[in-house]
Amino acid sequence: MLLTLTNTQPPATDLGFLLYKHPQRVQHYPLSFGTAHVFYPEADAARCTACLLVDVDPIDLVRGKATATGGGLLDQYVNDRPYAASSFLSVAIGRVFATALSGRCADHPELVNRPLPLVAHLPVVATRADEGFVPALFEPLGYRVEWQRLPLDEQFPDWGHSPYVALTLSATVTVKTLLSHLYVLLPVLDNAKHYWVGQDELEKLLRHGADWLAGHPEKARIARRYLRHQWSLAREALARLDVVEEDAPDATPPEATTGESVTASDLASITVEEAAVEAPLSLNETRIRTVIAELEAAKVQTVVDLGCGDGKLLSRLLKEQRLTRLVGLDVSVRALEIAADRLRLDRLPQRQRERIQLLHGGLTYRDARIEGFEAATAIEVIEHLDENRLAAFERVLFQCARPKWVIVTTPNVEYNVNYPFLPAGQLRHPDHRFEWTRAAFETWGQRAAATFGYGVRFAPVGTVDPAVGPPTQMAVFARDDGRGDDA
Ligand code: SAH
């Protein structure tokens, strides 16, 4: 299988620096399923083409762990894997162009973020999808897409079409971005993976799609196909696309200086224009800071984070030495595992370790483990509960756990008109059971407060649109007895 990348921006041989492969040399890379070769059929100042040729050895495939197509014995030896661009090519890109894919260029760092007029050509791409899927994947990313369905057999045209296309993508784009698009979308087109898909793949999808996937109109199909139709992983991917921020547990908040860098986080919840023009922080970061400020003002020392997800708020709260006890509760074991990782629970010194605990549990059943805290937070959680379970959640929270302070945030559905990628009427992500207007949220909050003996105030989170309000809305409840001043 073959991929060529052509740069026509003089000096075109900059492509060599960016790919970290010398244009004058042929280089070979052993892979578990064959060998990758990189060479340049042309390399001058005006035009430079790098070629990645992946030689898949079908015998290696059968001997190794990789199941090529999941078919019968003959199918294991005779199949399209050596010839058609697929997840094998993605793996090869990940290995051979790892430096470029991660946006590093030691010799010329200034080149990394420079968009170049690039053309990627793939003579054979496995495409198990309807005709429209090829442009639907690449056009929203800004490519001019040329593709041609290949015949099953050139000598017998009446045999019809094959599941392969010849594909050419052209755009002015950075090398890193182009590679990340191919890395994710080739297996999506193929709809088959040669290796087991698990949590690792989900993380890879989010990492390589960080700058563009959240805003892609086909993100649901991309996630499902990339993750081999493992619905729980795909659902998690889509949910996290909306909230995922930094990869590393201690990463500093992203400073968004351009639209492109802010898309690393929360494209589904923040428009590029907003990011570029006025928002130095992503919505998610704004939300976290707002909640931390409320907890600080309330001078609480103990907090339970309900529906803590992958622990982003907790990891920030852990740094606040004033807080002596932190608990995160979530129904998703996977989310808790990621949280444990983010918080480095297994490496925390004893004293820190005693301050924090993660609990597996549901929010609509009474749970003594969440009682006795000064504050509870439920950040972007209620919209994940079925509306008919909300009353149970209210009792669990306000009647049983009964903290002095409760902070709840949820999307403001009115703001959705500002998301160019969201079709009218569609919620921000698939797991949302509802999204409320400001009036609906306030009605809910007032009623809950009155029922359970709390006072409540409402505040916007994120840039307020004069017509439709803020992207996120927050309610801060204070237990009536002594306006939250004593336990
Ligand atoms: N608070 C986090 C995560 C929000 S996503 C953040 O702001 O990043 C919503 C979270 O609620 C998910 O992690 C989901 O697993 C959790 N959740 C949904 N229903 C739940 C339930 N019934 N009980 C406990 N957690 C639930």
Question: What DSSP character marks residue 110?
Answer: G
- Which whole number is the average pLDDT over 247-261? 27
Sheet with 325-330, edge to edge strand ranges: 356-360, 325-330, 302-306, 375-379, 405-411, 472-479, 454-461
Q: What is the pLDDT of residue 24?
A: 94
Whether residue 358 contacts residue 339, with contact meaning beta carbons closer than 8 Å, is answered with yes
Which of 287, 312, 330, 366 best tests ligand 1's pocket when mutated (most atoms within 8 Å of CB)?
330
Which of 286, 331, 337, 406 best tests ligand 1's pocket when mutated (most atoms within 8 Å of CB)?
331
Fold of 269-486: Rossmann fold (3.40.50)
| Lowest mean pLDDT, pick from 224-233, 313-322, 457-466 | 224-233
With cut-offs at 50, 70 and 90, classify the pLDDT of residue 9: very high
Ligand 1 atom with least separation from CA of 309: 13
Domain boundaries of the chain, sorted by first residue = 2-195, 269-486
Regarding the beta carbon of 343 and ligand 1, being less than 6 Å apart is answered: no
- What are 329-375's pLDDT values in tens digits? 999 988 899 999 999 998 999 999 999 999 999 999 999 999 999 99
2-195 and 269-486, same CATH topology: no
Regarding the beta carbon of 307 and ligand 1, being less than 6 Å apart is answered: yes
Q: What is the pLDDT of residue 67?
A: 45
Question: What DSSP character marks residue 484?
Answer: G
For the chain, give the mean pLDDT. Answer: 83
Three-state DSSP at 470 gives coil
pTM of the model: 0.50
Q: Shortest CA distance to 425 belongs to which of 436, 412, 438, 416?
A: 416
Gap from CA of 361 to ligand 1 centroid (Å): 10
Three-state DSSP at 407 gives strand
Regarding the beta carbon of 48 and ligand 1, being less than 6 Å apart is answered: no
With cut-offs at 50, 70 and 90, classify the pLDDT of residue 57: confident
Three-state DSSP at 214 gives coil
- Which whole number is the average pLDDT over 111-132? 90
Gap from CA of 362 to ligand 1 centroid (Å): 9
- What tokens were used for 151? 């015949």
Q: What is the pLDDT of residue 69?
A: 44
Residue 315 has pLDDT above 50, yes or no: yes
Regarding the beta carbon of 469 and ligand 1, being less than 6 Å apart is answered: no
CATH number corresponding to 2-195: 3.30.1610.20
Atom 3 (ligand 1) nearest CA: 309
Q: What is the pLDDT of residue 61?
A: 55
Regarding the beta carbon of 379 and ligand 1, being less than 6 Å apart is answered: yes
Residue 11: asked if its preceding bond is cis (omega within 30°), the reply is yes
- What tokens were used for 108? 């010329």
Three-state DSSP at 88 gives helix
With cut-offs at 50, 70 and 90, classify the pLDDT of residue 275: very low
